[in-house]
Amino acid sequence: MLLNLSIALPEFILFIGAMGLLMVGVFTDARSYAIVHWGSVIALLLAALAVSGGGASQLAFNGSFILDDFGRLMKFITFIAMAISVIISNGYMQREGLARFEFPVLALLAATGMGMMISANDLIAMYMGIELQSLALYVLATINRNSLRSSEAGLKYFVLGALSSGLLLYGCSLLYGFSGSVAFVDLASSLHAGEKGMELLPVIGIVFVLAGLAFKVSAVPFHMWTPDVYEGAPTSVTALFAAAPKVAAFALFIRLVFTAMPDAVIAWQQIIIFLSIASMALGAFSAIGQRNLKRLMAYSSIGHMGFALVGFAAATQTGLAGLTIYLAIYVTMTLGTFACILALRNETGSLETIDDLSGLSRTNPMMAICLGVLMFSLAGIPPMAGFFGKFYVFRAAIEAELYSLAIIGVLCSVVGAFYYLRIVKIMYLDEPLQDNQLEPIPRDLSIVAGALTAISMFFFVYPLPLVKLAEHASFVLMQEVQNKAPMITTWLTAPSGL
């Protein structure tokens, strides 16, 4: 029984930790925030530790839950990203008067949903994971109850999230009606193109399902919530939105498409290519006129999701590995940037616009170096980590003979470099604002920002571990799809003899 439970051990750690810390927060005084905060970080790190290392692919919950090396890597990245997001939120939440125990508890519940999304192996488990994550994130967006902007952001996120859920459920119902099953394996045997192509019903179902998942990764044209939610939510919540949920959503996206639709490439590849081009173009051009830092990061996130979709569109093992590498690097760059944004604060509050960074190299040289390196990395300038992320996905597109997609990606990357380099110019060439006296930076933010900046700067020195892990994870997933090798099936029920 205990061996069987170990398959979902990370999710049990997170859920039990969330319930325990909830009780601590409810039945103790206000000083419990520090206990709940660091307790949630420990739970996330334990969950990440529980999925570290390799192993055989295993099924649980009657085949609805799968744990393989692809899922292990994606969960590890997701849980580490969530832990960093919670760590860098501590000082900000206290300074803004938002240090309530609900934030880390909701972060744990969202992480539980992300773990379920990554391991989902049928349509019902997929929807349960998405909703568990989404409901927690809706509340996090409105955690600053005294802010009209935060309430508006949460309401927009909830309404548009409900719309995406409706699209997803309608698509799932069409696929179930066509195949007679919700399991990804059964869908794969039903969704294949004949001599005259695929039937209309499953194609419509695929379109609706992909539309619902595109919302979760902020892909155009389902990006409309991203700028407003990023700007209106507290900055620490925005940092959380920008990293871990994107990894979990992409992991689910990948597993669904490659596992349930391996013979329907013609039906979904063109959709992915469109989403990629539209996201790259809008992210590159729309961010040029942005002056608010969080809105700029929102459009930056949309653009980077487009670059990640380039590897997805290749529909090959190389593309899948490149996508995995890109997501890991994206998380590093994004959380490092938000750590810098959270650290910068003056007497009137947190810095919100690009102009507030004027002359930062003279008022805080170390933070200017960190933010400058991260901007170069986000722009994809060698030898920063961001360059290698784009290199791997563009290489996959070229190998798959998607030359036009790779060329458009390179051009959008050049355009996007403008607004990243503009921030560097403002920090180093503009005069500091007279009333912009920065407050001392908390130690935890300095450590996180410095560490993530170092990773972005020196990734090229030894990229092999991440590359090998990504290649192995993609190989495992593709082998499961191509060979349909029998899984080691376990059940989360006691054997009949016990």
What tokens were used for 26?
Answer: 């409810």
Q: Residue 495 above 60 pLDDT?
A: no
Q: What is the mean pLDDT of residues 344-370?
A: 82
Alpha helices in 120-183 (DSSP H): 123-141, 148-179
Instruction: Work out whether strand 58-60 and strand 488-489 pair parallel, antiparallel, or are unpaired.
Output: parallel
SS3 content of the chain, % helix, strand, coil (to 5): 75, 5, 20
**Residue at token pair 């993530």:** 452
d(CA 378, CA 93): 26
Specify the pLDDT at position 487. 40
Specify the pLDDT at position 192. 67
Residues 6+ away with beta carbon under 8 Å from 253: 213, 216, 217, 312
Q: What is the mean pLDDT of residues 93-119?
A: 88
Q: Which residues lie across from 459 on neighbouring strands?
A: none
d(CA 44, CA 288): 36
Q: Determine how many CB atoms are found less than 10 A away from the CB of residue 425.
A: 11
d(CA 351, CA 371): 14
d(CA 78, CA 243): 8
Query: pLDDT per residue over 212-235, tens digit each?
Result: 999 988 898 888 888 888 888 888
Average pLDDT, the chain: 86
Query: pLDDT per residue over 288-309, tens digit each?
Result: 888 888 899 999 999 999 999 9
Q: Is residue 342 part of a domain?
A: yes
What tokens were used for 292?
Answer: 């608010």
What tokens were used for 430?
Answer: 């503009």
d(CA 387, CA 18): 38
Query: How many domains does the chain contain in total?
Result: 1
Q: Residue 332 above 90 pLDDT?
A: yes
What tokens were used for 33?
Answer: 């925030």
What tokens were used for 345?
Answer: 């604060």
**Residue at token pair 């989404």:** 134
Q: Residue 435 above 70 pLDDT?
A: no
Q: Residue 249 above 90 pLDDT?
A: yes
Q: Is residue 355 part of a domain?
A: yes
Q: Determine how many CB atoms are found less than 10 A away from the CB of residue 26.
A: 11
Q: Is residue 297 part of a domain?
A: yes
d(CA 436, CA 480): 56
Residues 6+ away with beta carbon under 8 Å from 424: 372, 375, 376
Specify the pLDDT at position 498. 30
Q: What is the mean pLDDT of residues 352-361?
A: 84
Instruction: List C-alpha distances in Å: 389 to 82, 147, 237, 301, 345.
Output: 21, 37, 25, 14, 31
Confidence band for 432, pLDDT divided at 50, 70 and 90: confident
Question: If we measure between CA atoms, which residue out of 275, 335, 299, 338 comes closest to residue 419?
Answer: 299
DSSP element (H, E) containing 66: strand 65-67
Question: If we measure between CA atoms, which residue out of 472, 325, 292, 290 comes closest to residue 395?
Answer: 325
What tokens were used for 198?
Answer: 């695929």
* DSSP state letter for 433: P
Query: pLDDT per residue over 412-421, tens digit each?
Result: 999 989 989 9
Domain extent at residue 397: 273-485
**Residue at token pair 């009333």:** 435
Q: Residue 263 above 70 pLDDT?
A: yes
More reliable by pLDDT, 406 or 436: 406
Residues 6+ away with beta carbon under 8 Å from 120: 64, 65, 66, 126, 128, 129, 252, 255, 256
Q: Determine how many CB atoms are found less than 10 A away from the CB of residue 27.
A: 8
The percentage of the chain sitting over the pLDDT mark of 70, rounded to a whole number, equals 92
Q: Is residue 398 part of a domain?
A: yes
**Residue at token pair 């590849």:** 269
DSSP element (H, E) containing 347: none
- Counting Cβ atoms within 10 Å, is residue 450 exposed (0-12), middle (13-18) or buried (19+)? middle
Q: Residue 352 above 90 pLDDT?
A: no
Q: Is residue 455 part of a domain?
A: yes
Confidence band for 410, pLDDT divided at 50, 70 and 90: very high
Confidence band for 483, pLDDT divided at 50, 70 and 90: low
Q: Is 487 helix (H, G, I), strand (E, B) or coil?
A: coil
d(CA 16, CA 129): 16
Confidence band for 493, pLDDT divided at 50, 70 and 90: very low
**Residue at token pair 């920008």:** 242
Q: Determine how many CB atoms are found less than 10 A away from the CB of residue 29.
A: 7
What tokens were used for 310?
Answer: 């380039």
Q: Residue 106 above 90 pLDDT?
A: yes
Alpha helices in 52-122 (DSSP H): 69-95, 102-119
Q: Determine how many CB atoms are found less than 10 A away from the CB of residue 23.
A: 12
Q: What is the mean pLDDT of residues 420-427?
A: 90
What tokens were used for 375?
Answer: 């901007």
Query: pLDDT per residue over 3-54, tens digit each?
Result: 566 788 899 999 999 999 999 888 886 677 888 889 999 999 999 999 887 7
Q: Is residue 19 part of a domain?
A: no
